Amino acid sequence: MTALPHFTAHNGFSLPALGLGTYALNGDAGADAVATAIGAGYRLIDSAFNYENEGSVGRGVRAAGIDRSELIVTTKLPGRHHARAKAPASIEESRSRLGLDATDLHLIHWPNPSQDEYVQAWESLVDAQQRGIVRQIGVSNFLPEHLERIERETGVRPVVNQIEVHPYFPQDEQLAYHREHGILTEAWSPLGRAKELIEERVIAEIAAAHGISPAQTVLAWHVARETVAIPKASSLEHQQSNLAAATVALDTAEVEAITALGRADGRLFDGDPATHEES
Ligand SMILES: NC(=O)c1ccc[n+]([C@@H]2O[C@H](COP(=O)([O-])OP(=O)(O)OC[C@H]3O[C@@H](n4cnc5c(N)ncnc54)[C@H](OP(=O)(O)O)[C@@H]3O)[C@@H](O)[C@H]2O)c1
pTM for the whole structure = 0.98
Query: Containing H/E element for 150?
Result: helix 144-154
Binding-site residues, ligand 1, Cβ < 6 A: 21-23, 46, 109, 140-141, 162, 188-194, 215, 230-235, 238, 241-242
Q: How far is the C-alpha of 226 from the C-alpha of 97, rounded, in Å?
A: 31
Residue 1 has pLDDT above 70, yes or no: no
Is 177 designated active site?
Answer: no
Q: How far is the C-alpha of 123 from the C-alpha of 203, rounded, in Å?
A: 43
- Domain count of the chain? 1
In a domain, 122, yes or no: yes
In a domain, 242, yes or no: yes
Atom of ligand 1 at shortest range from CA of 24: 45
| End-to-end Cα separation, the chain, in angstroms | 40
Q: How far is the C-alpha of 58 from the C-alpha of 272, rounded, in Å?
A: 30
pLDDT in tens, 6-47: 999 999 999 999 999 999 999 999 999 999 999 999 999 999
Supply the CATH number for residue 131's domain: 3.20.20.100
pLDDT in tens, 237-259: 999 999 999 999 999 999 999 99
Residue 167 has pLDDT above 70, yes or no: yes
Residue 136 phi, psi (nearest 5): -130, 150
Residues contacting 117, CB < 8 A, separation 6+: 82, 83
Q: How far is the C-alpha of 23 from the C-alpha of 51, rounded, in Å?
A: 6
Range of the structural domain that residue 73 is part of: 6-192+223-248
